[in-house]
Structure 1
Amino acid sequence: MEDVLIWKILASIIGPAIFWIGYFYYKDRRQPEPLVNLLEAFCLGFLAGFVCFQAYGALPWIGLPQGFNLVVSRGQAREIFLYSLGIVGPLEELFKFLPFALFILRRRDVDEPADGVVYASSVAIGFASFENLGYLPLMTGLAFFGRAVASPLTHALFSSIWGYFVARAKVKGQSVLLAALFSLPLAAVFHGLFNVLTVSNYLRIFSAILVLLLWLLIIYLLEKHRQSA
Structure 2
Amino acid sequence: MIILLSAAIAPGLALFSYFYLRNQMATEPRKTLFQTFLYGALLTFPILFLQYVLKEEGIFYSVYFQDVVFTSVVEEFFKWFVLLIAIYNHIEFDDPYDGILYGASVSLGFATVENILYLLSFGLDTAFMRALLPVSSHALFGVVMGYYYGRAKFSQKARTKEMIALALFAPIVLHMLYNAILSFKGYWIYLMVPFMLFLWWFGLRKVKLAHHHLVQHLHMQKKL
Q: TM-score scaled to structure 2, two decimals?
A: 0.83
Hey, what's the Cα distance between the residues in 2 that align with 1:199 and 1:226?
Answer: 35
Deviates further, 139-148 or 82-91: 139-148
Q: Following TM superposition, by how much is the alpha carbon of 1:133 offset from its aligned partner in structure 2, in angstroms?
A: 2.6
2: CA distance, partners of 1:80 / 1:218 = 29
Aligned twin of 1:190: 174
CA distance in 1, matches of 2:80, 2:144: 11
* Distance in 1 of aligned mates of 2:38 and 2:167: 23
Q: Report the equivalent of 2:129.
A: 146
How far apart in 2 are the matches of 1:21 and 1:35? 12
1:27 to 22, 31, 39: 22
How much identity, in percent, do the aligned residues show? 26
Cα RMSD after superposing both structures = 2.3
* CA pair 134-199 structure 1, distance change in 2 beyond 3 A: farther
Question: Structure 1 unaligned runs (5+)?
Answer: 1-5, 66-77
Distance 1:225 1:163, change over 3 A: closer
Q: Deviations over 1:150-198 (max 9, x none)?
A: 4221101112222111221111243544323233122112112212213
SS of the residue corresponding to residue 24 of structure 2 reads coil
Is the contact between residue 99 and residue 149 of structure 2 (CA under 8 Å) also seen in structure 1? yes
Of residues 186, 202, 213, the one that matches 1:217 is 202
Any idea what the Cα deviations from partners look like across 1:42-62, whole Å, max 9, x if unmatched?
A: 111000111211221331476
- The answer as to whether partners of 2:64 and 2:183 remain within 8 angstroms in 1 is no
Does the 8 A contact of 2:37 with 2:109 survive in 1? Answer: yes
**Which of residues 124, 134, 141 is equivalent to 1:158?**
141
Aligned length: 212
The yes-or-no answer on 1:131 pairing with 2:114 is yes
Contact kept, 8 Å, 1:45 with 1:127, in 2: the verdict is: yes
Give me the TM-score of the superposition, normalised by structure 1: 0.82
CA spacing shift, 1:80–1:57, aligned 2, 3 Å: closer
